[in-house]
Amino acid sequence: MMNNLCVLPVVIPMATGVLLMLTQARPALSRAIAISGNILSLGVALALVETVRADGIQVLAFGNWPAPFGIVFTVDMLSALMVAVTMVVSTATLLFASVSLDDLHKKNFFYPLFQFLLMGVNGAFLTGDLFNLFVWFEVLLVSSYGLMALGSQAYQLQETFKYLVINALSSALFLIGVALIYGATGTLNMADLVFKFPALADSGMAGVIAVIFLVVFGIKGALFPLYVWLPRAYYGPPTVISGLFGGLLTKVGVYALFRTVTLFFAPGSTFVLPLLSFVAGATMLLGVLGALSQWDFKRILSYHIVSQIGYMIMGLAIYTPLALAGGIFYIIHHILVKTSLFLVAGAVEKRYGTTNLRALGGAADGSPLLATLFMFAGLALAGAPPLSGFVAKFMLLRSGLEAANHLVVAVSLVVSFLTLYSMMKIYRYAFWRQEAENAIVVQGEPVRTFAIAALVTLSLVLGLGGAILLPYVEIAAAQLLDPVAWGTVVLEARVR
Amino acid sequence: MNDSLILATAVRITRPVLFLFAVVLFLKGHNAPGGGFIAGLVTAVAVLLGLLVHGHGNRKTGRPTFLYVVAAGLGLALLTAIVPTLLGWPFFTHSFGFINLPLLGSIELASAALFDLGVYIVVVGNVVTVLHALTERR
């Protein structure tokens, strides 16, 4: 099914970004354009989800060159869901940012960079070509360098430089991996590779390529032991930008793992899934231990990003329909909840001027609504019913027990309790106690609270009504587990 | 700003050649090595030589005028990709045709050249912005 709808989630942010470059000296106009662009993309993304549900996998061959000769966008349910949740959280983040950032940011290309970042993220979710995936990673990384350095504080520049170096390293490895695949199979089209990659299994080349890609996406997705760059890098920029990064960017790496592992690396390999299972356990455990040792709102949340990624990889490693569905549910839940937690941290920072837990206190007296929202989001992160985290974790644990993978199940339960402890620590120090004396009442609080409330409400809806999202993630998991069907649809898509 | 007479004279002669070379590269680019990207870089070299000799002159610093050029180039490239979708073709579909001109004979006109023009404008705008930022005195 050839469909131009597939490319709109990339085209709309790009067109909006270009417009915003022209209006960047006028923050009010820029804000209106950016929000309209985002809402338009959100509508398109939801339409794409419905189209995939009704008509199956969508393909778009650029320039009318069919796969495997041209570059294709391939939209299955996983891609469509990822684009949709990206647009949801980015719209909330944009609303929050528009009342939180100062003119220094707004007049220095915050809005265009934000749109180009979304363009890169959506492109990475939609593409069906490995080299094209590399290009989209670069688009989103270049935008993220800009956003991360915006403000030019010494700490920011120092951490941005490290972030740039480690990402340049992983991009170079990515290119090497792509070159190896091209040399060994003669194609970079993912659908074509589904049929050609298994032929490498005897030569040992398949294992080499798999390891290179696991390292690349392990760095980008912040997996054990390659997550060290994340907590420091995400501390530097304004909290709202950290929130967008924390919610979205590492998840592009996780998505790329879900995509490549199910298409090429897991079928016919004996070591990929056990390795991922170990990495998943280690990532969640070490991430949460890192969080326990911190005394800063933002740093705790950053370490929890790492820890939570372990759960998603756990779903991939167990590799049953229920586990993959649980993993995808977890990604969606995590993007919503993690972004909302960062936004709460941003709102608290706006009010009290710090995110250091020892200097904070009594935020529950100052803003009861914010405290309630944090409580819900924190419980969702820990996996308490009736919030979205519970449904996701239930699916993962059940699939883990069914697959008799007891060790990773045990680790994930322990980590859940430690997560809960860590959220209670934030609540106790930032929201209880005497109210800190440095409270500043700042404007824009209603809009900020609205943006957070929207995300938390969605988490509640997905928790109470898990059945709403369940059919979609089940379709996504079924499509992932049948790469041959996926490849056939893509290769046989008719061009005009 | 550089007072060397040799440099100033050399630049006066080489700049027109560079601009012309950029045009040749741009036109050759469709089927042979060349194209909008390289032509843009060659043009930017010509601009750089001008900066070396004449400095910034009276240009006001700190105004990123050339970023608007980047935006225009991006917009043009995006438009050439969008237009086919309005006619029911997949995104980025290009077409070409031949026309006969007196003296020159049959000339190929390709819509891909418009996309390449967008690339050219983006590269020139981008490199000039960077050169201005790196060479201006604070």
pLDDT tens, residue order, chain A (496 aa): 468 889 999 999 999 999 998 888 888 899 999 999 999 999 999 999 999 999 999 999 988 888 888 899 999 999 999 999 999 999 999 999 988 887 777 777 899 999 999 999 999 999 999 999 999 999 999 999 999 888 878 888 998 999 999 999 999 999 999 999 999 999 999 999 999 998 887 788 888 999 999 999 999 988 988 888 888 888 888 888 999 998 899 999 999 999 999 998 888 788 889 999 999 999 999 999 999 999 998 999 999 999 999 999 999 999 999 999 999 999 999 999 999 999 999 988 888 888 888 888 777 777 888 899 999 999 999 988 888 999 999 999 999 999 988 999 999 999 999 999 999 999 988 888 777 666 676 777 888 889 999 999 999 999 888 888 999 999 999 999 999 999 999 998 877 6
- The answer to whether the CB atoms of B90 and A60 lie below 8 A apart is yes
Determine, for residues B89 and A496 on separate chains, whether the beta-carbon distance falls below 8 Å: yes
Q: What's the token pair of residue B58?
A: 């009276």
* B25-46 pLDDT, tens digit each: 998 887 788 888 999 999 999 9
Is residue A249 in a domain? no
Candidates B68, B82, B90; nearest CB to A63:
B90
Q: Which residues of B touch A14 (CB under 8 A)?
A: 74, 78
CB-based contact B85 A14, cutoff 8 Å: no
* Total domain count, chain A: 1
Residues 6+ apart with CB under 8 A from A85: A331, A332, A335, A336
Give yes or no for a contact between A162 and A105, defined as CB atoms under 8 angstroms apart: no
Tally of residues, chain A: 496
**pLDDT of B12 higher than 60:** yes
Residue to mutate among A10, A19, A21, A73, with most B CBs inside 10 A, is: A21
Count of beta carbons in the 10 Å neighbourhood of residue A436:
19
Contact call for B78 and A14, based on CB within 8 A: yes
Residue with tokens 């644990």: A397
State which residues form the domain around A275. Answer: 270-464
Asked whether residue A344 is assigned to any structural domain, the reply reads: yes
Q: Chain B: nearest CA to A82, how far in angstroms?
A: 22
The confidence score (pLDDT) of residue A195 equals: 92
pLDDT tens-digit map of A302-351 = 999 999 999 999 999 999 999 999 999 999 999 999 999 999 999 888 88
DSSP-derived secondary structure for chain B: ----HHHHHHHHHHHHHHHHHHHHHHHHTTTSS--HHHHHHHHHHHHHHHHHHHTTTTPPTT--HHHHHHHHHHHHHHHHHHHHHHTTSPTT---EEEEEETTTEEEEEETHHHHHHHHHHHHHHHHHHHHHHHHS--
Interface residues on B facing A, Cβ-Cβ cutoff 8 A: 67-68, 70-71, 74-75, 78, 81-82, 85, 88-94
Rounded Cα distance between A75 and A77, Å, is 7
- For B52, half-sphere exposure in the C-beta direction (CA atoms, 13 angstrom radius) is 16
What is the structure's pLDDT at B49?
87
Q: What interface predicted TM-score (ipTM) does this complex get?
A: 0.86
Which chain A residues have a beta carbon less than 8 Å from that of B96? Answer: none
CA-based nearest residue in chain B for residue A11: B78
Phi, psi (deg, nearest 5) at residue A264: -120, -45
pLDDT band at B57 (very low <50, low <70, confident <90, very high): low
Instruction: Flag if A21 and B92 touch (Cβ within 8 Å).
Output: no
A interface with B, Cβ–Cβ < 8 A, is: 2, 4, 7, 11, 14-15, 17-18, 21-22, 60-64, 495-496
Residue of A nearest to B91 (CA): A62
Domain borders along chain B are 5-135
Mutate to test the interface with A, among B78, B92, B95, B96 (most CBs of A within 10 A): B92
Closest CA to A175 of A131, A143, A215: A131
The gap between the terminal CA atoms of chain B, to the nearest Å, is 15
CA-nearest residue to A65 within chain B is B93
Q: What is the DSSP letter of A99?
A: H
Which residues from chain B sit within 8 angstroms of residue A4, using beta carbons? 85, 90-91
* Chain B residues lying within 8 Å of A63, measured CB to CB: 90-94
Sign of CA dihedral A302, A308, A313, A317: positive
Q: How far is A15 from chain B (nearest CA, A)?
A: 7
Q: Count Cβ–Cβ pairs < 8 Å, chain A vs chain B.
A: 43
**Can you give the pLDDT at residue B92?**
83
Q: Which residue of A has its CA nearest to B80?
A: A63
Question: pLDDT averaged over chain B?
Answer: 83
Identify the closest residue of chain B to A116 by CA–CA distance: B74
B90 closest CB neighbour out of A14, A18, A61: A61
**Domain presence at residue A341:** yes
| Tokens of residue A495, six digits | 């061009």
Q: Contact B90/A2, CB-based, under 8 Å?
A: yes
**Burial class of residue A334 (count of CB atoms within 10 Å of its CB; 0-12, 13-18, 19+):** buried
pLDDT higher than 90, residue B47: no
Give the E-state strand segments of A376-415 in sequence order.
none
